[in-house]
Amino acid sequence: MASSTTTPSLERERELCTLLSCLFLDTEHTPDDIDAIGSSLFGLQVSIATAEHVLRYDLFPILGGNLLSVTGEWAFFDEDWLWAQVQTRRASFVGVKLIRNVGDSIAWRIVGRYMVWPNWMKVKERYIARM
């Protein structure tokens, strides 16, 4: 539940993070899963650019490792934990961000483009079809 000091915009971002985190679960995404994510994304009324930014720069650095984990399948990520991680990353010092972004860019090219981006493109198609 959102606190009384949470703005609607931040609450929508939190919901977006939770929704897009599904793309980092070590599961096979069925067409129904993709449709559900696309429909929910449309309901949040966020732009594709915003969703892609959150996916690539907020969520991938936090959740990308889950795609490589051999510890088993996760059903979901804890929403409070995830939002706290996103907020911590966003609040980092500029110097830390610069160094971290180099590593994140390399990891995205190796993992994200092959394990996250294809499912995101399917979600994006569903989202655009609803417009």
pLDDT for residue 127: 92
- The answer to whether 85 touches 62, Cβ cutoff 8 Å, is yes
Question: 1-8 contacts: CB < 8 A, separation 24 or more?
Answer: none
pLDDT for residue 115: 87
Could you list the mean pLDDT of each consecutive 10-residue stretch along the chain, which spans 131 residues?
A: 59 95 86 94 93 93 79 74 92 68 78 88 93 78
pTM: predicted TM-score of the whole model, two decimal places: 0.80
